[in-house]
Amino acid sequence: MPVNPELYFDWAATAIPDQDILQEALKESLDAWANPSSVHAAGKEARAALEKARDACAKVLGCQSKQIFFTSGGTESDHIPLLAILNRPEKGNVAVSSIEHPALREMADELKKCGIECKLIPADKNGFITPEAVLQTVDAKTLFVSVMSVNNETGAVQPIQKIAAALEEQYKGKRKPRFHVDCVQALGKIPIDFLNEPGIDSAAFSAHKICGPRGIGILYLKKEEEIFLRGGGQEGGVRSGTENLFGALAFAKCLERHAISVGKPESAARFEEQKAWTADFIKELLAIKGCEIIPAARGVLSQENFSPWVVQASFQKIPGQVMLRALDAKGICVSTGSACSSKKASRPILEAMGVPAAQRETSVRFSFGPKTTRQGMQALLDAIKEVCAAFN
């Protein structure tokens, strides 16, 4: 049975695809069916289509085309710059935020087997990584630092520009660690205008979070670096493997439609609209007996500190999985956290914030997207109230 898009509230896991874009991109890729690396006429046609997609992505992201590399998704875009440190002659450590996505947090931890220590940058109780916390964690041997732009469970918007500036100042005249930013939950959700900050060396993006296809991502690299993974040398040697032309074309079109910027009044207006809807949604949630927003300070702090597309809440005495199944029975889709960790009992991000175990167990994530409506959000609230009433 098809899910009603208005009752889908798991956009942070994956977005409902824009079928018109995917169909158009598929047609274009079928017309340019050759290998983009081939030097004959058909190959050149495919290469031209690929570079057109790259140029379009660079224009939207406000960087140079030569800084854009197509990958298989957000995870690979996180791994490539992280694993590049294995080429470094010196051994050192990496510092990743304690609220990072498993793609970075768990991969960084694996590097211990290669003699590279993984340091966790502590989050405060509201789920923020401060510049001070970063500076207190790094040292002269730190090779790589990673802090995500928007947290996938709480929606907390991290002070990326301040962290980049703090690292630049701390390492002035010395070898600075590479600073990587996971922008997977930021793209199409908040304005991204920091790629050309001097202190940011790389960033990861994923198409399926902004209504594109699964299996295509972007890695932004400020400048060339020696990559650890090797192969046929495609994507300037940064990401080997025959390019996914269909994915690249679709990603470019989704970026043009969904990226938020002042130059796109429609997207900016939708952003402001969602801010208002989410503020009302949180107020109504807090009026429900036993409901708490995580972090609790979200009701006090400025809306600018959080993405309006993600809300984490807990419901006293109702396990998150019970709430999820109860809403699912009503045709409503939500989640209890990252889809990548849905089969795990632990909630590392909430643990890092110091959220008590009982509250972690009863927490649920609501995430919104382009097809979310105010009416749909009201239907969600009504359903939550019904479930809570049955437990009280």
Q: Which pLDDT score is estimated for 343?
A: 52
Catalogue all structural domains in the chain, each as residue range(s) with its CATH number.
5-16+262-390 (3.90.1150.10), 19-258 (3.40.640.10)
Q: Which pLDDT score is estimated for 344?
A: 57
Q: Which pLDDT score is estimated for 132?
A: 98
Q: Which pLDDT score is estimated for 316?
A: 95
Q: Which pLDDT score is estimated for 340?
A: 54
Just list the catalytic residues.
Answer: 340
Q: Which pLDDT score is estimated for 102?
A: 94
Distance of alpha carbon 73 from alpha carbon 83, whole angstroms: 16
Are 342 and 17 contacting, i.e. CB atoms less than 8 angstroms apart? no
Are 63 and 197 contacting, i.e. CB atoms less than 8 angstroms apart? no
pTM of the model: 0.95
Q: Which pLDDT score is estimated for 171?
A: 95
Q: Which pLDDT score is estimated for 374?
A: 97
Q: What is the dihedral of CA 328, 306, 286, 5, to 10 degrees?
A: -30
* Residue spans of the chain under pLDDT 50: 341-342
Q: Which pLDDT score is estimated for 319?
A: 96
Q: Which pLDDT score is estimated for 10?
A: 98
**How many Cα atoms sit within 13 Å of 328 on the Cβ side?**
11
pLDDT in tens, 97-129: 999 999 999 999 999 999 999 999 999 999 999
pLDDT in tens, 325-344: 999 999 999 999 755 544 55
Q: Which pLDDT score is estimated for 193?
A: 84
